[in-house]
Structure 1
Amino acid sequence: MTLSTRRPRARHALLAATALAGLVALPALAQAQESTVEEIIVTATKRDSTILDVPFSINAQTQQDIQRSGAVTLEDLSRNVASLTIQNLGPGQSQVSVRGVSAGQVVRDQPGVKEQVGVYLDESVISLSLFTPDIDLFDLNRVETLRGPQGTLFGSGSVGGTIRYITNQPKIGVQEGVIEANANMVDGDDTGGYVKGAINLPVSDKVAVRAVGYYTKYAGFIDARREGGGRKKNVNDGSRVGGRLSVLLQPTENISIIPRVVYQEIRADGFNRQEVFNLYANPNTTTRAPVRMGEREQHLLLDESFADDTFLTDLTASVGLGAVDLTSVTSYVDRKIHIDRDASALTGSVSVDLGFPSAAVPLPSKLVDTTDLEQFTQELRLSSSGDGPFQWVIGGFYSEVDRIYNQRLPTPGYDPYTNARFGAGTAAAVANGFPLNSPYNASLPYNIKQKALFGEASYKREKLTVTAGGRFYDFKETRQFKSGGLFANGDNQTDKTDSSGFNPRVLVSYEASDTVTFNAQAAQGFRLGGVNDPLNLPLCSAQDKAIFGGFQSYDDETLWNYEAGVKSRFGGISFNSAIFYTDIKDLQTTLDAGSCSSRVVFNVPKAHTKGIEAEFSARLAPGFDVGVSGSLLEAEFDSTVKDGSGAVIGGIREGNRLPSVPNFQISADATYSWRFRDSIDAYVTASVQHIGSRYTQASDQENNPRSFTSGLAFGGATGTVPTIVDLKLPSYEIVNFSIGLEMDNGVDIIAYANNVFDENPLLSFDRERGGRARLGYSVGQPRTMGVTVRRTF
């Protein structure tokens, strides 16, 4: 079945589900008033409160929401959260945006770019630009999405918002646990599954331990064509293994100490890349067999891999001092990421440009990216603990990050061709101390230090609560850059950047009744600037060198977010909605520097986002729950950036859309549960998720659809036959279905089908060397069917 025939079925299902929810809701409102659901407690303001009491827009997906939706990644969850967008760039390389605040595709070779959404595991910062941690969702209490800038309490990485994974904590005096097993099949021919377990053990009346362990095998769904006509199936399979161990020490009622250790390993044997052109596999060759790649196919000379080892240890201590609570959060993260990517087409395309003989062009070439990160953070805060009208929190934050990023391009046999083309000894002369037979090498050690003071206070008078706060920050970054090899400049330089400032926030909340609250806020967010890597000048065309060569450093990005919202809850019905406007200054926008095989970041003077988001859930009758969430968004540039000739650079034109975010997304779900037998409950859940069209980079909306020509004569191809690509990523719909049995003895059995209509969502577009080497998409997971068995005790 083709993509075009699948999509109407999914769209019809979305419309039908939404209409059904609306039709059923009207006559069931009276019943819903008497049917209540459990209130969700969140800690978005650094204190326990209900969603209704939080004075800004927030979503919380509970453990039951996660289980019944079948979500296994943050990307899965994002489709059910209004205004949250995940751009999947491969394993461990997702980018997160909230409310359309996005700078476009940031990839592995831009380690200096800072994140726009902060990510926390409980109280510990785990954000890392380019590599959003792929945390296992097992034994989580909830996942909180805080929309809008959260710089006051959560720092610079939260310019668009903050995501918080909240785990289940150890419980004193309680012995409980859960074990869960799964088997699934993806795309009808590869199998995966997992085994996970958690246990809470009381050691004494003052000590408890909670341990979590998991192993997951991911099925693959991408096939790789090989040289000589071979094929390797399901090359992007992988695994995840890890665990958490935390101890609660509570010597007195007012003292709580929780040390914890978290470890996780992720392995992938390839990437979810679907190619439409490859230098070695395209339909235009004559001396090589022509190849036209199909859905979920790519071409490889070398196997690819991804490895991510994360170790985190933290210590959270709280002391009650009467009317004041003292909290200390100390964390240390050691993370190592290793990526092997088949860069043969990239190296081969350069070889053609440099006039190398045809025998040099298909040499296997591997790009090895490594990241070695150590991060230490310390937060200390005081907060009021009483129930009086005046509440406050004040604290200090310090972090130091040492990050070493390396790139190597081992290409056995390349130096003899280099010396033959440019003269004996050339390869050794340009190596700059790096290994031979590696035409590109770079080492980038970073040291980043941040200090901050923050505070927030609120005063409640009758039904009106006013909150004001701010964060003073001071940031220093030192970066070295050394490169070597034929494709590099032989750089050896040190750059320093620093920044300081103050970010304020004001919130107003009005309780119209016990069940309806109105709120408004004005908040400033910030993202720290940095320095671009030098262009790979030996690879650049004269035009690309002139266009992109002038962007060395980029300034802090700042924005003001203005929003007004309503939160309501009537028995089993809740409705939350907000309208917002975000005024962005010096948006850090990423552009592909064409033939240079580089990417640069520069500031766009003005941009904005505005929109409306809404989330509705209702228990329409005993056992019947429905939910709808969605957002309508406008995210555009308000400035035009031109080069010296007057041409618009990279699609940065006033009125063009900000990249990677849809204008419209919506999800609808319904669950019906009933007593199946005396000791068994049953339920059926269906959900439909719609994600609107997007662009990967800002430039993609210029001259689109676009004609890519490699300009390279190889394999009998002239290099002038175009590959036509529509760079507007089409909208897509995902339909999920599950049926479950919940037994009184603690056993649950769930059968599910995700992506029922086998949609092939195009998530982002990648062009290597501006399309001279390779063109492809990151694509989503196809139809997945499975069974999960869970036992709680």
Structure 2
Amino acid sequence: MKMGATNRSTYISQLLVGTAAILIANPALAQDAATDDVQADEGNVIIVTATKRDTTIQDVPFSINAQTQEDIQRSGAVTLEDLSRNVAGLTIQNLGPGQSQVSVRGISAGQVVRDQPGVKEQVGVYLDESVISLSLFTPDIDLFDLNRVETLRGPQGTLFGSGSVGGTIRYITNQPTLGVTEGQVEANVNVIDGGNVGGHLKGAVNVPLGDTAAIRAVGYYTRYSGFIDAQGPGGGQNVNDGERYGGRIALTFEPSDTFSITPRIIYQKITANGFNRQETYNLFANRFTATRPAVQLGEREQFLLLPEAFEDETFIADLTIKVGLGAHELTSVSSYINRDILVSRDASALTGSVSVDLGFPAAAVVLPSNLRDTTDLSTFTQELRFASDYDGPFQWLIGGFYSDVQRDYRQRLPTPGYDAFTDATLGAGTSAAVANGFPVNSPFNSDLPFDIEQLAVFGEVSYELTDKLTFTAGGRYYDFEEVRIITTGGLFANGDSGVVDTTASDGFTPRFLLSYKASDDVTINAQAAQGFRLGGVNDPLNTPLCNAQDLALFGGFQDYSDEKLWNYELGVKTQGAGFTFNAAAFYNDISNLQVTLDAGSCSSRIVFNVPEAYAAGIEAELGFSPSPGLSFNVSGSYIQSEFNSTLPGVLATATGIRDGNRLPSVPEFQLSANGSYEWELGEATTAFVTGSFQHVGSRFTQPSDQENNPRTFVHGLPFGGAPATAATTIDLELPDYQLVNFSAGVELENGLSLTAYVNNLFDENPLLSFDRERGGRARLGFNIGQPRTFGVTARQTF
């Protein structure tokens, strides 16, 4: 950790402690209330800003879901993954703390992993007006004191730019409110069945500063329970526990109805002591060894020679200025993001598998080896919008966007004692000859600085052709350039020295919408929109590790082009007394889909373009309240997403790119249902019970998992007395799973509420993604979900 980051961490920690102290010492300073950003009347109308204007969710002319603050609290959701199960068409692939992949409507390119820094995101993620998405490493924002989470389905390139090819997720926070003193404190304790104890303490306060300003401060601390046990010298019980703490402070200055300025600072740090990986095979712990103790790893178990860790420290500063100019409004959004990320993995099995291939002695194979991936990111973005602000049939918006991303990505593989074995086996001086200026006893090293600059101009106009029919058209022109420099060294690397690769791209993406108001309660929408995702350059294969077959198969993929998508959609939105029903049918025609593949023994991953693919389906969400206090919500999606292209010869089998094969990581069918009932226990006390059911269909982690499945992985490593023919057979189709959650509680008139809950009632062990290293020669396993969890939450609003 750099000294500056440490000092900042200490300062912010002190600031959060001070905020918590204010909340505890001054309980009268808080009260839970809606902000100007979203309002709910007695008809439960939700106002969203998906079109960068205040609009009711039923009037947005495309498919959108909004989970409100009450939805989040009642469901007990603490992560976007929790929320996703209640949102039709939204899928989260859990790859560990702060490392989840998001896909919408089946638009997925396969499992992106920590050492693919050049891959761009397919779903844009925003915190209010600031873009925070960064492929796999999008910040895992705490959901406390959020006003809502919006899921905008379908490409949103016109207003939200690159990376919104499948859709956009927007975290909308509660904003400072003038003239109101309010807030809340929340405490939780939970225990995982077979794991340890976790919990959180969170607080928010809104304080007016005279008649024209207000400040809102939020602080939170969460202790994550662990549930993975690890055998081996680096193991222990519940090794994947961790913590998250942070907060945000926003100040709004509004001297008049036509001018407001809101600066904000956000800080968050996540640490985890391990990963949610359940291993099936490990080079050092398997049932084949004879000269080492044979080990059969069980459910929720792994093997470690070294402890693992994850750290993600995020600092965001943004500034939003709104100026009313008569019948127009000018909005400026400036944001700066600094992030320091460390992924520290036990790579002993990976390094050891290479050592076996190179003929190193057993003493070298069992050396502890630590792969450390670090990312230092600095991002500056500026958006300027000018829009109409009047009543009338013609509305318009025009804007410009600029971003500059500086990202330094580094890998080191410290393996004490390795150089001596290298020189003894391959010849004196070998380790020094391949080091390329990197440290000793580190057989793989890489430095990958990226500089990505992007400029865009966008606009959208709408016109009410009649009282019932509205036409909207928009477009975005973008121009970007990415410069990447790669330097590698060590026995496993190619020894690249300052190789510069430049990728440049520009283009225009349009969107057209028709909205027909059939009646006061029924609206029919149609849309045709294009989305895009920027291309890039693959990292060179680790050729010293590749066998001849893998080198021949994957050695020819260098760069990859922009991904484009046309979305065609027809939807209906209805509402009536006590119910809402929204549904949409869609077809996505994808060209140059960027697919991520595992390059087997090379311990590398590549991205390349598939000429044609598609995703088509239907999604529906129904909410109804048949009687006072009783409500039900049902949402579901059926998505068929497949390749329309077949690669020639053996490439089709090796990659899974075959006409009719499914796109990876997306279930065909997803269903969520929940119901709640509340009743008066007394004049000032309300009781409630809530139950939910979620079904997630079967998936594949990578396209190639559909070929020759169930797959037999021949480990081919005669280590520890294991035969060279040792093999493990695994069904790579991730099975469907069902989760049942239940909660009950009371709400008192004084703002105090108590909720007891159990999540994953039947202790399902969902397999979320398949984890492999060196094509199964080092390690095989699955990333898994959280076991049954019991908890109690107390919340006090003031």
Q: Does 1:482 align with 2:487?
A: yes
Aligned to 1:771: 776
Partner of 1:491: 496
For residues 397 and 681 of structure 1, the distance between their equivalents in structure 2, rounded to whole angstroms, comes to: 48
- Choose the corresponding residue for 2:238, options 227, 234, 240: 234
Q: Quick one: structure 1 residues 189 and 272, their matched pair in 2 at CA, closer, same or farther if it must change by over 3 Å?
A: closer
Match of 1:93 among 99, 103, 106: 99
Name 1:32's counterpart in structure 2.
none
Matched, 1:687 2:682: no
Bigger shift: residues 180-189 or 394-403:
180-189
> Distance between the aligned counterparts of 1:218 and 1:462, measured in 2?
53
Find the partner of 2:352 among 341, 348, 351: 348
CA shift, 1:507, in A, is: 0.2
- Of 712, 734, 758, which aligns to 2:717? 712
In the TM superposition, residue 593 of structure 1 has moved relative to its aligned partner by: 0.2
Which residue number in structure 2 is paired with residue 518 of structure 1? Answer: 524
What is the match of residue 13 of structure 1? Answer: none
**Equivalent position of 1:76 in the other structure:** 82
1:468 pairs with one of 464, 473, 487: 473
Please tell me whether residue 121 in structure 1 is matched to residue 138 in structure 2: no
Change (3 A) 1:193 1:619: same
Aligned CA-pair RMSD: 1.0
What is the CA-CA distance between 1:37 and the residue it aligns to?
Answer: 3.7
Letter in 1 for 2:458: F
**Cα separation, 2, equivalents of 1:46 and 1:646:** 44
Q: Distance in 2 between matches of 1:175 and 1:775?
A: 54
Amino acid at match of 1:721: A
2:749 counterpart residue number: 744
1-structure distance, mates of 2:739, 2:57: 28
Question: How far apart are the structure 2 equivalents of 1:766 and 1:444?
Answer: 24
1:659 aligns with 2:664: yes
In 1, are the aligned partners of 2:653 and 2:707 still within 8 Å (CA)? Answer: no
Give 2:679's match in structure 1, choosing from 665, 674, 683.
Answer: 674
Query: How far apart in 2 are the matches of 1:442 and 1:105?
Result: 22
Q: Name 1:405's counterpart in structure 2.
A: 409
What does residue 536 of structure 1 align with? 542
> Which stretch of the first structure deviates more once superposed, 452-461 or 35-44?
35-44
Report the AA paired with residue 161 of structure 1. Answer: G
Contact 1:577/1:613 (8 A) holds in 2: yes
Q: Displacement, 1:199? A: 0.2
Counterpart for residue 729 of structure 1:
734
- Equivalent runs, 1:240-389 vs 2, <5 Å: 240-389=244-393
Tell me the distance in 2 between the aligned counterparts of 1:189 and 1:379: 46
Flag as ranges the 4+ runs of structure 1 deviating above 2 A.
645-649
Q: 1:647 to 1:102 in 2, by over 3 A?
A: closer
* Kept after mapping to 2: 8 A contact 1:640/1:648: no
Are 1:36 and 1:572, in contact at CA under 8 Å, matched by a contact in 2?
A: no
1:642: Cα distance to partner?
2.3
In 2, the alpha carbon distance for the partners of 1:423 and 1:182 equals 59
State the TM-score, normalizing by the size of structure 2. Answer: 0.94
Q: Per-residue deviation at 1:113?
A: 0.5
What are the ranges of 5 or more consecutive residues in structure 2 without an aligned counterpart? 1-40
SS at match of 2:655: coil
| Distance (Å, rounded) in 1 between the aligned partners of 2:771 and 2:486 | 25
1:667 Cα deviation after fit: 0.3
Contact 1:36 / 1:619 at 8 angstroms: preserved in 2?
no
Separation in 2, partners of 1:354, 1:604: 35
Give the one of 766, 788, 791 matched to 1:783: 788
- 1:585 counterpart residue number: 591
Q: Secondary structure at the match of 1:417?
A: helix
SS in 2 for 1:607: strand
The verdict on how the C-alpha distance between 1:91 and 1:474 changes in structure 2, with shifts beyond 3 A counting, is same
Deviations for 1:306-348, whole angstroms, at most 9, x for unmatched residues?
0000000000000011110000000000011011100000000
2:433 is matched with 429
Alpha carbons 2:235, 2:306 under 8 Å: kept: no
CA distance in 2, matches of 1:543, 1:730: 31
Query: 1:25 matched to which residue of 2?
Result: none
Q: Distance in 1 between matches of 2:721 and 2:126?
A: 53
User: Matched residue of 2:419: which SS?
Assistant: helix
Q: Distance in 1 between matches of 2:194 and 2:774?
A: 35
* SS class of match (1:77): helix
Q: Write out per-residue CA displacement over residues 490-519 of structure 1, whole angstroms, 9 at most, x where no aligned residue.
A: 012000000000000000000011111000
Q: 2:111 maps to which residue?
A: 105
Number of aligned residue pairs: give it.
756
Alpha-carbon separation, structure 2, partners of 1:395 and 1:250: 23
Whether contact under 8 Å (2:355, 2:365) holds in the other structure is: yes
Deviation (angstroms), 1:648: 3.7
Asked if the contact 1:36–1:571 (Cα under 8 Å) also holds between the matched residues in 2, the reply is: no
In 2, Cα distance between the equivalents of 1:130 and 1:65? Answer: 26
Q: Partner letter of residue 662 of structure 1?
A: P
After TM superposition, give the deviation of residue 78 of structure 1 in Å. 0.3
Between the aligned partners of 1:322 and 1:566, the Cα distance in structure 2 is 35
2:653 touches 2:704 (CA, 8 Å); kept in 1?
no
Aligned mates of 2:419, 2:193 — CA distance in 1:
43
| Residue 447 of structure 1: aligned partner | 451
Tell me which amino acid in the other structure corresponds to 2:170. R
Counterpart CA distance in 2 for 1:758 and 1:719 is: 38
Could you tell me which amino acid in structure 1 is paired with residue 546 of structure 2? C
- SS of 2:73's partner is helix
- Paired position in structure 1 for 2:33: none
Whether the 8 Å contact between 2:698 and 2:734 is mirrored in structure 1 is yes
CA contact (8 A) 2:367 2:416 kept: yes
Q: Specify the code of the residue in structure 1 equivalent to 2:554.
A: F
Secondary structure at the counterpart of residue 736 of structure 1: strand
Distance 1:265 1:647, change over 3 A: closer
Cα pair 2:306 2:370 within 8 Å, conserved: yes
Deviation at 1:188, TM superposition (A): 4.0
Cα shift readout 1:113-165 (whole Å, capped 9, x = no counterpart)? 00000000000000011112110000000000000000000001100000000
CA deviation vs aligned residue, 1:670-703 (integer Å, no higher than 9, x gap): 0000001121001100000000000000000100
Three-state SS of the structure 2 residue aligned to 1:107 is coil
Structure 2 distance, partners of 1:483, 1:660, is 31
In 2, Cα distance between equivalents of 1:162 and 1:697: 23
Amino acid at match of 2:784: V
TM-score, normalisation: structure 1: 0.95
Q: What aligned pairs does 1:22-171 form with structure 2 within 5 A after superposition? A: 37-171=43-177
What amino acid is the match of 1:407?
Q
Residue 702 (structure 2) aligns with: 697
Distance in structure 1 (CA, Å) of the matches to 2:368 and 2:681: 60
